[in-house]
Structure 1
Amino acid sequence: MEIRLATRDDLKAIDEFDIFLGNRMTEIERSELWVALEENLVIGYISFNEQFYTRPFVHYLNVRKEYRRSGAGRFLMLKFEELYRQSERLFTSTESNNLPMLLLLEKLGYKCCGVVDKIQKESEIIFCKDLNPSELKS
């Protein structure tokens, strides 16, 4: 499996399985979108930036249905962690009924750090992961 920065050429493949709001093209232009490929097919993507209180935050993680449980989501999250390995703390969120993402975050060591109710039908759970706990200041 290859993980690389997304390009405009990936948009058509992403559109085939994209379920989230937002503008993938803008994320590509800002170098905020990475893709997972299997035999040159885009099977998943991750979108992240530092616009959550200036902290690294995963906004979207999405894998084609037929490739779920293939490790693509984990590899994409590990790429995020690798790119921000000098950060003290990483963040993401998911809806309370998204069991696959909840299990993945638990396996990767993310902890619940808050819940936002009434934004959507399901509660949004905020997760964080401390990368350098001995250096944390806040």
Structure 2
Amino acid sequence: MIRKGEGLDFSQIATFDNFAGCRRTEISEDRLTVFDKDGDVVGFVVESRKGLLGRPYIEYLAVENRYRRQGLAAKLIQAIESKHAGKRLFISSEATNTAMLNLLKNEGYIMAGRIANANLSGADELYFFKHIN
């Protein structure tokens, strides 16, 4: 089940969250959405507060390792898309994250640009968009 994040979700999210940012703040600002599987939070997505160039932007997307490749990330992205009909939605990924790049291709995202060496690892960051109908 996909639902809005709640304060009690924080401890479960922390077990698989590798991103910077403050999940408590994102929950309090209604920007964090979770995938709840039988009472366990196994994935989340965060919308950026300010967007990207004035457009909606998915800032973080994570799914617990044992639940990956089951379509949960796609469902989380689709939940955000459903809120932005008629707009262009942006998302980014490290160039080395093959699973995410495949997901974005399968979901109809188009590459918009690249920032070379943007990540601490030295990997490029790739930006994508999709026109939401």
Which residue of structure 1 lines up, in the alignment, with residue 65 of structure 2?
A: 65
Counterpart secondary structure, 1:21: coil
Distance across 2 between alignment mates of 1:90 and 1:51: 9
TM-score by length of 1: 0.91
Deviations 1:47-75 (A, max 9, x none): 01342122100011000000001111010
Distance across 1 between alignment mates of 2:19 and 2:5: 16
RMSD of aligned residue pairs (Cα, Å):
1.0
Q: Which one-letter code corresponds to 1:114 in the other structure?
A: G
Which residue of structure 2 lines up, in the alignment, with residue 127 of structure 1?
A: 128
For 1:41-80, what aligned pairs fall within 5 Å after superposition? Answer: 41-49=40-48, 50-80=50-80
Q: Which one-letter code corresponds to 1:117 in the other structure?
A: A
Counterpart secondary structure, 1:51: coil
Aligned residue pairs total 130
Deviations 1:70-106 (A, max 9, x none): 111010000010011132x110000000011100100
Distance across 2 between alignment mates of 1:85 and 1:45: 21
Deviations 1:83-130 (A, max 9, x none): 11132x110000000011100100000010100012221000000011
TM-score by length of 2: 0.94
For 1:14-25, what aligned pairs fall within 5 Å after superposition? Answer: 14-25=13-24
Q: Any unmatched runs of 5+ in structure 1? A: 133-138
The sequence identity of aligned pairs, in percent, is: 34
Contact 2:84/2:132, CA 8 A, preserved across alignment:
no
Q: Which one-letter code corresponds to 2:83 in the other structure?
A: L
Which residue of structure 2 lines up, in the alignment, with residue 10 of structure 1?
A: 9
Q: Which one-letter code corresponds to 2:37 in the other structure?
A: E
Contact 2:86/2:131, CA 8 A, preserved across alignment:
no
